[in-house]
Structures are given as structure tokens and as C-alpha cells.
Amino acid sequence: MMMMKMGSLRYAFILMMAANFMNGQEFDLLLKGGHVIDPKNKIDAIRDVAISSGKIAAVAAGIPVAKAYKTIDVSGLHVTPGLVDIHAHFWGVYGQGIHPDSHTLRSGVTTVVDAGGAGWRNFAAFKKDIVDRASTRVLAWLNIVGRGMDGRVAENNTADMDPAAAAKTIRAHPGLIVGVKTAHYDGPEWVAVDRSLEAGNLAKVPIMVDFGTFRSERPFEELVTKKLRPGDFYTHTYLNSVPMLDSDGHVRKFLFEARSRGVLFDAGHGQGSFLFRLAVPAVKQGFVADTISTDLHTGSMNAGMKDMAMVMSKFLNIGVPLADVILRSTWNPARAIGHEELGHLSPGAPADIAVLRVEQGNFGFVDAYKARMTGSQRLVCEMTLRNGLVSWELNGISRDPWDTLGHYGSQGDQRWDATAEDPPKYNRRPKR
């Protein structure tokens, strides 16, 4: 009986798709008239974006509305690849981790990387509880400490920093684990960095370093000019402890030298790691973080950081052009973590899309030390599509006015809408 029912559902779906094709409806969804910014493909213009079966089908001017099952007018808005936040926390972090879907999709983020919450000892539990239950695509930096971010004492337990065990776990989850993370190490030795590098070499993945307590015995300059390899990350670029500026207010030359070696610098705003008095002069002198990220957790989201759109807005108001802000929030991070299928709107790519509004006005922004900067622009997420489905929208631009519908029932349509109340007839949501 069940087999007959499943066969009937498949047959009905095939008939529906065939009918749509005969009616000229090649696409499930069409985003019409938006300003597309797709840095990988060098698109910065008014374009339509067509979606079919959860994939980008076309990006072009003047795609006929008749070819789409559903059309959404996004004129006056910016359409970008889904944002990629490579530094966030959903596990461990002293109880400050959050569930991804509660704070990602609403800010245009479709892919996040948990930054070292789990180590090799508890990664299976992290995957079961977080990765497998999220609509947001969740990837991971694996902590070099087996217990992960299980408190400061655990994070400084060098006996639990096992490169071989970490590398084995990474190899067991290719693509899901993007690299190795070390964080919050207080000792004077290089052991946390060195063992992370060893694990990275064994598994052939990059590492991300939160340098913990800065100490003269292991200078920051040595970390970024000698220790880190091309493609490795230092995160918390505009942290107070970073020796960013010399006595004349100039960005120190070794930082540019590190970048020329291929070392990547991640913003990692967080609750305590982004200061305007470092970020503003550094950006104006050309030292912009390669990747924009939040360091999302309960502490940062309720303080100056707030969300990805807010962090991007800070860079925009400091003077980074919008297209460059989008680059550092999409294609740059996707490429750096080895997921080049993400961060762009090429035909065939997953239809992960952020629809953003650039508001004009008088806005205030707060840094990690609670200092305020005023600005005239603010990015707001109007809509997020994950895997081709509308998964968040602020003002209901995909919906019909209630007073035109008569005695209406649920308006959700599972062909383009992930928020429909009814159980899905078919589920396009990938595992990650």
C-alpha cells in the first residue's frame, strides 16, 4: 500500500512538472528586476535570476515572467549569493552557542562554519544535534582539542591536542569539516598552533587561529609571517591585542607581508574582537579582512555585533564598496574553505540567495568596546532563499495582499516556499 502511495505521488509530481513545461514554465521561481551582485562572475547590474529544482537556472536581463511558476518582484533590492559566515558558534562556547536557524537565514546567511566548538571526541554528537537538524548549511572547523570548546581549562589541555585523531576525524567527514581550529590558548608555547598545523598537514586542510592570550614568547608577527601556511586563517583581525598600527598610526608592514605569503585574515567580529580605532585606519590604508564573519554566539548577537548584515554594514560605512563587501561575504570565504560550488550564482549552483536592502539614513554602529560610529547606510536582509526555497522574508514581498484573496487558506506553496505549514511532499533540503 505504501509503495503504491509513493508511486502515485511520484506520478503526480511528474504530471505537474510536465504540465508546467507544456505551459512554458521552465522555472520554479523567478526573482525579477533586482540588482545582482555576483563577484565571482563579475556581475554588478540589473538582472533576473531564475531557479529550477533548487539550482540556479539562469541569470540574465529580461527573462519572461511566463516562463516561471512564481515570480517575485525584487526591483530596488540587491540580489547576491547566499552569505557564507565562516566563524560562528553552535556548540560548546561555555553555553553561548545557538541553533543555526535561529539567527542565520534572517540575515541572509545560508552557509555557516562552526568555529571549533567540537573536537574529535564529540564531533559525532555535534553533527547529530546541530548539522543534521539545521536548514542552514552547517560546516565545521574541528578543534585541535578533543573536547572542543568545553571551557578554558579544557582548551588549554595540551594532552588532548591529538593531531592524528583530529586528522582521522577530518578524513572521515570530507567537505563537512573544512579545517582545524585552535582557540583561547594561554600558555607561552607554540604547542596549540604547531599541533593544529600538524593535523592540517595530515588531513590536507587549512587551520584557523584564534591566538588566545598574546604573549611575547610566541609573537603574533611570527605567527602570521612564519608559522601559518598559505590558505591558513588568523581570525579576529581588528582585536585590541593585534599589533596593527605603529606609533604613527600606520598599518605595520609585516601584516602586508603576511598577506603576500597567502595568509588570510578573517574579521571574526564577536563580542570583544572588533575595534573601530583599528578597523577604520586599517581599512583606509588597504588592510581589509579577506573574509567578513560574525563570531556569532549569544554574547555577540546581543552586543555590538548583532548579525552578519550589521557586520557588513560596518565595513560599508568605513568605506569598503558594496560589491567588495559582498565578495568578502560570499565568494572569498567559500573559496577559502574549499567549497567553490558556493558563494556565486552560476547556472547549476545551489540556489542559495540573499536579497538585501540598502537603507539610507542616520544609523549607529557599536564596536566591541561599546564605542559608537555613525553611518549613512545599513544593510537589511529582505529575503533569503536556501536551496531554491524562500526561507526567510522580512516584509512578505513574495505574498499576495490578504484583502485580494477572499476566504483564504494557507498561501504556502512548497515548490518555492520553505515556510509552508503542511508537511513537504518532497524535500529538497540537503544534509549540509
Q: What is the secondary structure of 384-397 as a DSSP string?
A: EEETTEEEEESS-T
**What are the CA-CA distances from residue 185 to residues 14, 29, 77, 95, 191 (Å)?**
56, 48, 43, 19, 9
CA atoms within 13 A on the CB side of 43: 23
Q: Which three cell numbers stand for residue 68?
A: 516561471
User: What number of residues does the chain have?
Assistant: 432
Tell me what the mean pLDDT of segment 211-233 comes to: 97
The pLDDT, as a whole number, for residue 422 is 54
The pLDDT, as a whole number, for residue 388 is 98
Comparing 5-14, 200-209, 379-388, which segment has the lowest mean pLDDT? 5-14
Is the per-residue pLDDT at 22 higher than 50? Answer: no
Is the per-residue pLDDT at 138 higher than 90? Answer: yes
pLDDT band at 14 (very low <50, low <70, confident <90, very high): very low
> How many whole angstroms separate alpha carbon 257 and alpha carbon 240?
20
Q: Are strands 372-386 and 109-115 parallel, antiparallel or unpaired?
A: unpaired
pLDDT band at 98 (very low <50, low <70, confident <90, very high): confident
The pLDDT, as a whole number, for residue 394 is 98
**What are the CA-CA distances from residue 272 to residues 31, 208, 239, 275, 398 (Å)?**
38, 18, 7, 8, 38
> How many whole angstroms separate alpha carbon 221 and alpha carbon 5?
65
Q: 4: which residues sit within 8 A by CB, 6+ positions away?
A: none
**What are the CA-CA distances from residue 223 to residues 149, 151, 220, 231, 240 (Å)?**
22, 24, 5, 14, 17
pLDDT band at 2 (very low <50, low <70, confident <90, very high): very low
Tell me what the mean pLDDT of segment 159-170 comes to: 98
pLDDT band at 428 (very low <50, low <70, confident <90, very high): very low
The pLDDT, as a whole number, for residue 7 is 47
Q: Which three cell numbers stand for residue 236?
A: 579576529
Mean pLDDT of the chain: 92
Nearest CA among 211, 126, 236 for reference residue 177: 126
Is the per-residue pLDDT at 27 higher than 70? Answer: yes
> How many whole angstroms separate alpha carbon 93 and alpha carbon 151?
7
pLDDT band at 97 (very low <50, low <70, confident <90, very high): confident
The pLDDT, as a whole number, for residue 410 is 87
What is the Cα 54 distance to its own chain's centre?
Answer: 19
Helix (H, G, I), strand (E, B) or coil at 43: strand
Q: Which three cell numbers stand for residue 250?
A: 600606520
> How many whole angstroms separate alpha carbon 105 and alpha carbon 362?
26
The pLDDT, as a whole number, for residue 425 is 41
Position 39, amino acid? P
Phi, psi of 253, deg, nearest 5 = -60, -30
The pLDDT, as a whole number, for residue 92 is 75
Question: Domains (ranges, CATH) in the chain?
Answer: 82-354 (3.20.20.140)
Cβ-in-10-Å burial (0-12, 13-18, 19+) of 296 comes to buried
The pLDDT, as a whole number, for residue 411 is 86
Inter-residue contact 261 to 231 (CB < 8 Å): no
Is the per-residue pLDDT at 87 higher than 50? Answer: yes
Is the per-residue pLDDT at 423 higher than 90? Answer: no
DSSP state of 33: E
pLDDT band at 82 (very low <50, low <70, confident <90, very high): very high
DSSP state of 151: -
* Sole residue written with cell 533576473: 48
| Per-residue pLDDT tens digits for 338-370 | 999 999 999 999 999 999 999 999 999 999 999
DSSP state of 177: E
| Per-residue pLDDT tens digits for 287-337 | 999 999 999 999 999 999 999 999 999 999 999 999 999 999 999 999 999
Tell me what the mean pLDDT of segment 223-252 comes to: 98
Is the per-residue pLDDT at 426 higher than 70? Answer: no
Helix (H, G, I), strand (E, B) or coil at 79: strand
Helix (H, G, I), strand (E, B) or coil at 298: helix
Is the per-residue pLDDT at 427 higher than 80? Answer: no
The pLDDT, as a whole number, for residue 108 is 98
